[in-house]
Amino acid sequence: MFTQLILTLGEICYLEGEWCSSGDESIWCNLRECERVISNPDCRFYKQGHFMNVNCAAVKPTSVVSIHEVKNAKKFEGLEHPEKKRKRKRFKRSQSSTEESESCSSLGISSWSSGQLLDMSKEPLPEIIADLNVKVLGQHAGELLLDLHEYGSDDHISKLTTHGLIIDGTKVYFTLLEMSKSHYEKLCKNLELDETDRATIYYSRPLDILHLESRNTLIENFVRLNNIY
């Protein structure tokens, strides 16, 4: 229900929202010795008008936002839910979380939140790590990377970026994957990565769609997304 509300708000801001289904997958063949890697986020936003050209022929959009819905979110909790006021506990890695971290590391992807590198050994933890787990973040990182590959970007720029959203109940996190063109080309050609090949994912603080101020910020951000070329 909340994901549908987000899609509707985006459409009001002239984005085109779509639920993803079979056939909407992003596919990257021969990625890091994997024959075929497939990703299909829950939804996507596209820039309005990018589905058709002047001759009404279907064209691939050049701007896309991957949307990941957290399936086990607590409904109607909001940011002021009493449980969210408790002291954050130290995050403990599970085996599956470690595997996701190692997968992102092999692709040269780091996670940042509010300008700070996510450090699993120190407190306080960023809210996105305390609320979600590394497996969810790792899956979203893969969705961003494959959508960047599928929908492409300007060949003449040195930095490649793609946007995303994580919807956790009433909370919305904006995300951004930033990668150098040389790093991307090495992944495409299966070349060895070095220490300079580090893509970064930025995570915003959560916005609560049940709160007027957060909702206004959310709408403002959607308008900005539609203005990205």
Three-state secondary structure readout of the chain: CHHHHHHHHHHHCCEEEEECCCCCCEEEEEECCEEEEEECCCEEEEECCCCECCCCCECCCCCEEEEEECCCCCCCCCCCCHHHHCCCCCCCCCHHHHHHHHHHHHCCEEEEECCEECCCCCCCCCHHHHHCCHHHHHHHHHHHHHHHHHHCCCCCCCEEEEEEEEEECCEEEEEEEEEEHHHHHHHHHCCCCCCCCCEEEEECCCEECCCHHHHHHHHHHHHHHHCCC
Q: What is the pLDDT of residues 147-204, one digit of tens each?
A: 999 887 666 778 899 999 999 989 999 999 999 999 999 999 989 988 888 899 999 9
pLDDT band at 47 (very low <50, low <70, confident <90, very high): confident
Amino acid at 59: V
The per-residue pLDDT of the chain, averaged, comes to 77
Q: What is the pLDDT of residues 66-90, one digit of tens each?
A: 999 987 655 444 444 444 444 344 3
Decide if pLDDT at 136 tops 60.
Answer: yes
Sign of the torsion formed by the C-alpha atoms of 156, 174, 70 and 65: negative
What integer pLDDT is reported at residue 22 of this predicted model? 81
Alpha-carbon distance values, 11 to 7, 105, 225 (Å):
6, 35, 12
Query: What percent of the chain is modeled with pLDDT above 90?
Result: 34
The pTM (predicted TM-score) of the whole model is 0.77
Distance separating alpha carbons of residues 1 and 169, to the nearest angstrom = 9
What integer pLDDT is reported at residue 85 of this predicted model? 46
What integer pLDDT is reported at residue 94 of this predicted model? 35
Decide if pLDDT at 102 tops 60.
Answer: no
Q: 66 and 164 in contact (C-beta within 8 Å)?
A: yes
What integer pLDDT is reported at residue 154 of this predicted model? 64
Domain ranges of the chain: 2-226
What integer pLDDT is reported at residue 176 of this predicted model? 93
